[in-house]
Structure 1
């Protein structure tokens, strides 16, 4: 991997900026199981004198906690019995960039390795790299783009907490899908996110309104799959930080309320390492393209846990919601789980299952693993679904609960062959932790229905 453009930094340029006093903080970060950036802020001088050559370390519990950072049981890699030792953060210098919305700060994203320098297989970045290596072994590269939706509120994160995340003030009070007026009202926030992420090295396309009150999407140009996943994680963090700086809050929850959920459609294609278009032959899809899509569909139920990792993820899957319920493909058909768009060099598949809470590394890795399964086994692509997939009774349905997705994933021979037992068992336990927590919770729904009436 090389830096995608000249808006990224080189280590020599970073040294110059630190020695000139223009940069005083360097963030070393990795993406955790929940898709969040975690890591350390290092003083610039310490970074030059030590971390630039030797890196840094962090507790291995960072890949074995729940979303509240509680240590939990069931993880083979990290526990009280194992002593909660360290992992090394190994910077990928091709990801070195400025964070223009934070004073005098740069960021580099890291891989995780054990102290003997062997990769940590459960790390999301390693999970994706493993699949990219398999693609490269077939003389191909993967290109991807993620389309993240979010809901923005005029309420600060602190006030949202005090309000119990209820009755927040969305930045729009009506459906602003494609509305110029509706987005203009939010332009101070959207413009700052667009400009800051561009300055941080991302290729920003634009912003548009969406359907839920206060819902918006900022789009980015496709790139190689690892760059897209890296940028996805940095963008989510930057968007929340910029919103907080303006006294606002953003949520990427898959389903914040009973209106439209927030999706993360993932576009994916393969190219030859020589640049050849392998998804298209003359005026039609190539056999390899059809086999790839067939593999993604064949593994969709098995891999749904990697597309929809939380209890809340499954609230999106409802008829007529633009979130899929049916595992099928269609040509430019937004009711299907897989939508095929474009021709020739632009030919690509869109996976419409993931929501805004997805971990991009895991989801893209799952799509690649599924597609390679289809190619290696020369799977035949089923006929296109024409019409409304929500009313089609003849296709397998997307799992409707985290528990169902968990069971299918952990029992899947294809998943274990693709990712290995360590990874499958690790993310099965992540689902178990979430399910135990949810099963123990008393919800607002229960209180409203039961407090007086029962």
Structure 2
């Protein structure tokens, strides 16, 4: 029997059945924070079904106003200190309910943050994306997206890495194994377990393969509606780290661990009508691209530098976006050209863009929101699309440049009239402050590079 007030949704009926059978005891309610991490609590299933599923539960507002170290302070749109570290409400989204095989006896559901009166917390990453998707819906459009996350696998545990201050770590392979089907014996056990358990949890895997950096791997899951893809992204990232820890190894998604190839998070995105009809393709048009797609791609070029902060939010992000690093540095688009930040691929119903700026540290909700917002800007202003770049965009000095540092990206974001109009002052100010906190933390740190360079010789 369903408890009074429990939403009548299939996900919760499944949860009740799993609980009755003794297979699920707790529900993990997770809120995606500014970094795209899941923060939340474990809740007993009866309490979840009787109370939380209907009315949510309280969590401290600083969860959406803190840095990677969970430090908070004035300057965010949410000032936790000024409001006495009060609560907002986490409202679970039943569509996100999954059973993580690596955490037996649990279910996990992603939540939205709302104020006690029911109003959405506008600066929450999931809300930032929802607002952009609502803008598409007003035009009768739906965004489909896929994210391609890369990570590095290291021998030894996270604790080992911490105690060594991340020095002298051994990667899971000894050399470049890009596309290789051999030499993977040391990373395949954890990679196989991640693949299998994500599929068991309901994600639809497409491919898994080794990448360029020693110990590097990529698992690609099938595209879906944009919000679902982002929810799957944070579920995968959270779970992959937990599985690695259980296997006694460590993995990282950071964009640039060392001088080798960085970890990217390429975003594939296309639009369809609410009836499911593709709207990017037009076989009769030049290059098979509809006018709507041409405006959408033109919007990416117009907004790329201004919105870079939402795709590359950390100091380390820009270590990947360097000349010669096989990551984009100039503003251009091209047909099947991996040196361009905007790569147009596919044909017919599969015609889409691949956005190559985001790295493994990108918050997927913000990165996809930036892509959608830029595309809408191009559509609304009917921006013309220049000719595609056919040469190496990484080595072309004539191209406009992407921001090369977090400080430069911050300045472009804060001064952008487009960002202010599209995202609103609260969102612009909130994420600008998050970037300033990151910069201040880096600029006051003394690095190993400085010690090696100056300890004896200066």
Give the distance between the partners of 1:343 and 1:211, measured in 2 at CA: 27
Give the distance between the partners of 2:303 and 2:353, measured in 1 at CA: 15
Q: Give the one of 306, 310, 315 matched to 1:302.
A: 306
Relative to structure 1, the CA distance from residue 9 to residue 444 in structure 2 (aligned partners, 3 Å threshold; closer, same or farther) is farther
Give the distance between the partners of 1:77 and 1:388, measured in 2 at CA: 43
Q: How far off is 1:184 after superposition? A: 4.4
Tell me the secondary structure at the aligned position of residue 316 of structure 2.
helix
Q: How far off is 1:18 after superposition? A: 1.1
- The aligned residue for residue 401 of structure 2 is 397
- Give the TM-score normalised by structure 1: 0.97
- The aligned residue for residue 442 of structure 1 is 446
Q: How far off is 1:206 after superposition? A: 2.1
Contact (CA 8 Å) 1:131, 1:365: kept in 2 or not?
Answer: yes
Give the distance between the partners of 2:215 and 2:395, measured in 1 at CA: 30
Q: How far off is 1:54 after superposition? A: 2.6
Q: How far off is 1:260 after superposition? A: 0.7
Spell out the pairing of 1:163-202 with structure 2 (5 A cutoff). Answer: 163-202=164-203
Tell me the secondary structure at the aligned position of residue 236 of structure 1.
helix
Q: How far off is 1:412 after superposition? A: 0.6
- The aligned residue for residue 127 of structure 1 is 128
- The aligned residue for residue 93 of structure 2 is 92
Contact (CA 8 Å) 2:326, 2:394: kept in 1 or not?
Answer: no
- The aligned residue for residue 141 of structure 2 is 140
- The aligned residue for residue 4 of structure 1 is none
- The aligned residue for residue 342 of structure 2 is 338
Spell out the pairing of 1:202-213 with structure 2 (5 A cutoff). Answer: 202-213=203-214
Q: How far off is 1:387 after superposition? A: 1.0
| 1:347 maps to 2:351 | yes
Tell me the secondary structure at the aligned position of residue 281 of structure 1.
coil
- The aligned residue for residue 429 of structure 2 is 425
- The aligned residue for residue 229 of structure 2 is 228
Give the distance between the partners of 1:79 and 1:238, measured in 2 at CA: 29
Q: How far off is 1:246 after superposition? A: 0.4
Tell me the secondary structure at the aligned position of residue 183 of structure 2.
helix
- The aligned residue for residue 239 of structure 1 is 240
Spell out the pairing of 1:242-321 with structure 2 (5 A cutoff). Answer: 242-283=243-284, 284-321=288-325
- The aligned residue for residue 419 of structure 2 is 415
Contact (CA 8 Å) 1:341, 1:349: kept in 2 or not?
Answer: yes
Give the distance between the partners of 2:43 and 2:318, measured in 1 at CA: 39
Encode CA deviations 1:366-407: one digit per residue, 9 max, x unaligned: 000000000000000111111111221221111000000001
Give the distance between the partners of 1:195 and 1:180, measured in 2 at CA: 18
Q: Which runs of 5+ in 1 are unaligned?
A: 1-7
Give the distance between the partners of 1:182 and 1:271, measured in 2 at CA: 41
Q: How far off is 1:289 after superposition? A: 0.5
Alpha-carbon RMSD across the aligned residues, in angstroms, is 1.2
Contact (CA 8 Å) 2:53, 2:91: kept in 1 or not?
Answer: no
Spell out the pairing of 1:372-383 with structure 2 (5 A cutoff). Answer: 372-383=376-387
Contact (CA 8 Å) 1:154, 1:169: kept in 2 or not?
Answer: yes
Encode CA deviations 1:254-281: one digit per residue, 9 max, x unaligned: 0001111100000010001112111111
- The aligned residue for residue 104 of structure 2 is 103
Give the distance between the partners of 1:367 and 1:94, measured in 2 at CA: 23
- The aligned residue for residue 5 of structure 2 is none
Farther-moved stretch of structure 1 (280-289 vs 236-245)? 280-289
Farther-moved stretch of structure 1 (181-190 vs 382-391)? 181-190
Encode CA deviations 1:399-445: one digit per residue, 9 max, x unaligned: 00000000100111100111111100000000010011111000111
Encode CA deviations 1:320-349: one digit per residue, 9 max, x unaligned: 322011110111111111111011101000
Give the distance between the partners of 2:80 and 2:364, measured in 1 at CA: 26
Farther-moved stretch of structure 1 (79-88 vs 298-307)? 79-88
Q: Which runs of 5+ in 2 are unaligned?
A: 1-8
Contact (CA 8 Å) 2:88, 2:114: kept in 1 or not?
Answer: yes
Give the distance between the partners of 1:437 and 1:47, measured in 2 at CA: 38
Point out 4+ residue stretches in structure 1 off by more than 6 angstroms: none
For these two proteins, the number of residue pairs brought into alignment is 447
Spell out the pairing of 1:36-47 with structure 2 (5 A cutoff). Answer: 36-47=37-48
Give the distance between the partners of 1:382 and 1:159, measured in 2 at CA: 51
Give the distance between the partners of 1:117 and 1:213, measured in 2 at CA: 48
Q: Give the one of 406, 410, 418 matched to 1:406.
A: 410
Tell me the secondary structure at the aligned position of residue 355 of structure 1.
coil
- Give the TM-score normalised by structure 2: 0.96
Give the distance between the partners of 2:395 and 2:261, measured in 1 at CA: 19
Q: Give the one of 316, 322, 325 matched to 2:329.
A: 325
